[in-house]
Chain A
Amino acid sequence: MTRRMKASLVLASFAVAAAAGSAALASPSATPGVTKRTITIGGTFPLTGPAALYGAIPKAEAAYFSYVNAHGGVNGRQIVFKVYDDGYNPANTVPLTKKLVEQDHVFAVYSSLGTAPNLAIRDYLNKRGVPQVLLATGDSYWGSQYKQYPWTFGFNPSYPGESRVYGKFIASKVPQAKIGILVQDDAYGQNYYDGLVQGLGAAKSKIVDVEKYDPTQTDISAQVVKLKAAGANVLVIFALPTQTITALVVTTKIGWKPTTFINNVSESPLFMYLAQKSGANVDGDITSDYLYDYFNNPNSATTKLFKSIVAKYDPSANPLDINIEYAFANAWTLVYALKQAGKDPTRQSFMDALTHLNVTNPFLYAGTKMVTTPTERFPIDQQILAQYQNGVWHPFGHIFSNAR
């Protein structure tokens, strides 16, 4: 045996020993993620890649948790929030989530972002009894498939619920409607479309054209031009922010001013501002809101609290970015449920807290309440329509319920 080979064998055995050692050190406690002083949660988010603009969400959630930690934490425990970057690629989401559960021993997987990423980890988490909660995605099955996946719990109002509201509004308030729809060509878009058709009821015969686009297409001007050519006077846009902005700009460019509906995902004042600066005429456009109306209540206690937390813990956040507001509402819900889960929370008591909500979330639209039961698992099912005027969304009309 040469000296080199001896050396290699020694090194190899050291490696094996080290691995064994580290494996032994990671011994879980009774309730994973909960110690006397801390409670650990974590999620996967697209911090890089095409969906990276949603990276603002975990940043803002972390900011809120810092604020809560500075004020005693949750029942005396500090929240430890692990954020992993999956780039919206399920092949990254799965190993990172396994890391959260098996290495970091999180109490719950919190606020993971995206439909496909969450679908990829749903079976794994449910099999292990790990809460998969307050997901940053709005498809309806997060709330409806609870029998099969009891540990999964959504947050966003469902997409079909939202579009149902638009449908009902058009059916009752826009009798001469000729509806043109721009929709993403996948399950995300299909979700919205189905809800709209349900809400329209008999008025669905007024749909004159449906144009689809692929998420990788940023230039959808062709589709918009065709919608105008079909004679539509109502334009419903179920798209991602990039394409929504383009659609709004192109609509104005070709001299068209239909009554326009924009989905909640794309209605951030930031995007409206971008569209407007690029020449879109967006006054009069309609969307639905469920978050607290900071812009029209600049001096309320909630707004002041919101601004102070952001200034202290997330100062680089863009004030026009609605993701921050969303994040606070979501983070508040987590903290509330953790508190309700008791002095010694277990995963089961936590899920029970989430499925028995009956509380006003200060970061949601004033006058709405989060109400859940074990069989009704949509924490947000109240929305209000809002119209864009002079740079601000103005809620109008009454609060729509059961938008689930």
Chain B
Amino acid sequence: MRLRRPTAVGAAATLCAAIVVALLPFALSNYHRTTGATVAVYFIAILALDIVTGYTGQISIGHGAFMAIGGYTTAILTHDHGWNDLATLPAAAAAGFAAGVVVGLPALRFRGVYLALTTFAVALAVPQIAKNYSRFTGGTEGLPLPAHSGLWLYEVGWAIAGAMFVAAWLLLRGRTGRAFRAIRDSEVAAASSGVTLAVYKTVAFGISAAMAGVAGSLFVLVNSFVNPDVFGLQLSLYVLIGAVVGGLGSLRGVLVGAAFVELLPIGLTSGSLAPSQAVPVIFGAVVVAVMALLPLGAADLLRTVLQSRADRGQHPDTPLGTEAK
């Protein structure tokens, strides 16, 4: 299986995107900066999902649960124990990692769709557990968090998103990334070439969950509030939609996916009653249309646009779902 070299065009495009992202807040209002910070949150969450699902082939529909764990870690440490909110991020990552391993271990036994539905179940169960142990989590009334300006949220969010992107890119280029892709394409072949399935699959979950935990922390900071409904089904579904629209198995489309799920629904709201009813109809229809027109996600489109002639003959990553049955 060929490893793609970073192309000059790809690198330049990424650099361009990074510059735009870095300069953008100075042209935006406080409100739009906060929106931009939320895009960063989805960016990290989608990146996390891409690692475990797009690159390692383990379908996880419930990343909202890992975000919840990270988010509540930050909220409880900040609210009850007076931690500085940025200082809680490593703790959130650690909690997320632990949760990822806890989910990843039994997941070793589950095949494709059973894994997907189990993660779905976890995503639904975690908010309920948060509701039940309200003494720690504040229950449905939730916990407030220190507020920050839009600029702070944007800068912190994208700094972390950028760092995670680079870290993910390095990870996926290296041996671990190769192992992940091998597992995705054929577990049998991977095992017979020396990849310890249990270790790599669990590590994939752990890393992915750690990143999602950090995303959850940022999410909670952006809203300065947490309660179980914040991590409901909508969040997990949006992260999943964003990952697939962006294109699984590739880092190129993550920004597109994140922008899609955050900006489109808000962009469609207008503040008048009757059109508000139409928002979910339009959003749902757009999702279906995007799947029909761009089944491999924006990454595929970007690849065709950015790739130089020489690379065009290269075999693309196999999309999910064509794994050996």
Task: Say if the two chains contact directly (CB < 8 Å).
Answer: yes
The chain A residues found within 8 Å of chain B, CB to CB, are 2, 4-5, 8-9, 12, 15-17, 19-20, 23, 26, 42, 47-48, 58-59, 62, 82-85, 87-91, 94-96, 98-99, 102-104, 115-116, 119-120, 123-124, 127, 186-188, 214-216
Contact of A62 among B13, B144, B273 (CB under 8 A): B273
Q: Do residues B142 and A19 form an inter-chain contact, with CB atoms below 8 A?
A: no
- Asked whether any CB of chain A lies closer than 8 Å to the CB of B310, the reply is no
Contact of A19 among B24, B34, B273 (CB under 8 A): B24
Give bound CA distance, A98 to B222, whole Å: 11
Stretch at the interface among B48-56, B181-189, B226-234: B226-234
Give bound CA distance, A41 to B163, whole Å: 41
- Asked whether any CB of chain A lies closer than 8 Å to the CB of B28, the reply is yes
Q: Which residues of B contact A102 (CB under 8 A)?
A: 29-31
Give bound CA distance, A168 to B272, whole Å: 44
B17 nearest CB neighbor, chain A only: A12
A-B contact pairs, 26 of them (CB 8 A): A4-B9, A5-B9, A17-B27, A23-B27, A23-B28, A23-B29, A23-B32, A26-B29, A42-B271, A59-B273, A84-B271, A87-B234, A90-B223, A91-B235, A98-B31, A99-B31, A102-B29, A102-B30, A104-B271, A115-B141, A116-B142, A119-B141, A120-B144, A120-B225, A123-B147, A127-B147
Give bound CA distance, A58 to B13, whole Å: 46
Give bound CA distance, A84 to B273, whole Å: 8
Chain B 1-22 residues near chain A, CB threshold 8 A? 9, 12-13, 16, 19-20
Q: Do residues A58 and B139 form an inter-chain contact, with CB atoms below 8 A?
A: no
Minimum distance in angstroms from A6 CB to a CB of chain B: 11
Give bound CA distance, A149 to B284, whole Å: 39
B140 nearest CB neighbor, chain A only: A186
- Asked whether any CB of chain A lies closer than 8 Å to the CB of B306, the reply is yes
Give bound CA distance, A165 to B272, whole Å: 39
Stretch at the interface among B99-107, B166-174, B275-283, B316-324: B275-283
Interface centre among A16, A42, A91 (most CB of B within 10 A): A91
Interface centre among B24, B140, B142 (most CB of A within 10 A): B140
Q: Mark B295-321, 1 if CB is under 8 A from A, else 0.
A: 000000000011000000000000000
| A90-B225, A116-B227 given; A4·B269 CB < 8 A | no
Contact of A89 among B38, B144, B232 (CB under 8 A): B232
Give bound CA distance, A89 to B38, whole Å: 15
Give bound CA distance, A58 to B277, whole Å: 13
B219 nearest CB neighbor, chain A only: A91
Contact of B279 among A5, A85, A127, A187 (CB under 8 A): A85
Interface centre among A87, A99, A214 (most CB of B within 10 A): A99
Q: Which residues of A contact B271 (CB under 8 A)?
A: 42, 82-84, 104
Minimum distance in angstroms from B45 CB to a CB of chain A: 13
Minimum distance in angstroms from B8 CB to a CB of chain A: 10
Give bound CA distance, A23 to B140, whole Å: 36
Q: Which residues of A contact B225 (CB under 8 A)?
A: 90, 94, 119-120
- Asked whether any CB of chain A lies closer than 8 Å to the CB of B134, the reply is yes
Q: Which 8 A-B pairs rank lowest in CB-CB distance, beginning with the nearest?
A: A82-B271, A102-B31, A120-B225, A20-B27, A94-B223, A91-B230, A19-B27, A186-B140
B266 nearest CB neighbor, chain A only: A95
A121 nearest CB neighbor, chain B only: B225
- Asked whether any CB of chain A lies closer than 8 Å to the CB of B131, the reply is yes
Minimum distance in angstroms from B207 CB to a CB of chain A: 25
Give bound CA distance, A188 to B279, whole Å: 30
Q: Do residues B32 and A84 form an inter-chain contact, with CB atoms below 8 A?
A: no
Q: Which residues of B contact A26 (CB under 8 A)?
A: 29
A127 nearest CB neighbor, chain B only: B147
Q: Do residues A5 and B16 form an inter-chain contact, with CB atoms below 8 A?
A: yes
Minimum distance in angstroms from A344 CB to a CB of chain B: 25
Contact of A8 among B16, B28, B232 (CB under 8 A): B16
- Asked whether any CB of chain A lies closer than 8 Å to the CB of B35, the reply is yes
- Asked whether any CB of chain A lies closer than 8 Å to the CB of B23, the reply is yes
Q: Do residues A186 and B144 form an inter-chain contact, with CB atoms below 8 A?
A: no
Give bound CA distance, A289 to B272, whole Å: 31
| A9-B16, A42-B271, A83-B273 given; A187·B141 CB < 8 A | yes
B277 nearest CB neighbor, chain A only: A47
Interface centre among B128, B232, B235 (most CB of A within 10 A): B232
Give bound CA distance, A84 to B277, whole Å: 10
Q: Do residues B140 and A19 form an inter-chain contact, with CB atoms below 8 A?
A: no
Give bound CA distance, A5 to B8, whole Å: 11
With A5-B13, A120-B224 given, name 9 new contacts (CB 8 A). A16-B20, A48-B277, A59-B273, A83-B273, A90-B142, A94-B223, A102-B31, A119-B225, A127-B147
Q: Do residues B223 and A103 form an inter-chain contact, with CB atoms below 8 A?
A: no
Chain B 129-165 residues near chain A, CB threshold 8 A? 131, 134, 139-142, 144, 147
Q: Do residues A90 and B269 form an inter-chain contact, with CB atoms below 8 A?
A: no
A62 nearest CB neighbor, chain B only: B273
B127 nearest CB neighbor, chain A only: A216
Minimum distance in angstroms from A182 CB to a CB of chain B: 18
Q: Do residues A15 and B29 form an inter-chain contact, with CB atoms below 8 A?
A: no
Minimum distance in angstroms from B146 CB to a CB of chain A: 9
Give bound CA distance, A84 to B271, whole Å: 5
Q: Do residues A116 and B229 form an inter-chain contact, with CB atoms below 8 A?
A: yes
Q: Which residues of B contact A115 (CB under 8 A)?
A: 140-141
Minimum distance in angstroms from B268 CB to a CB of chain A: 10
Q: Do residues A123 and B131 form an inter-chain contact, with CB atoms below 8 A?
A: no
Contact of B31 among A8, A103, A120 (CB under 8 A): A103
Q: Do residues B273 and A95 form an inter-chain contact, with CB atoms below 8 A?
A: no
Q: Which residues of B contact A90 (CB under 8 A)?
A: 142, 223, 225, 227, 229-230
Contact of A16 among B13, B23, B141, B227 (CB under 8 A): B23
A2 nearest CB neighbor, chain B only: B9
Q: Which residues of B contact A85 (CB under 8 A)?
A: 269, 276, 279
Q: Which residues of B contact A15 (CB under 8 A)?
A: 20
Q: Which residues of A contact B13 (CB under 8 A)?
A: 5, 8
Q: Which residues of A contact B134 (CB under 8 A)?
A: 186-187
Q: Which residues of B contact A98 (CB under 8 A)?
A: 31, 34
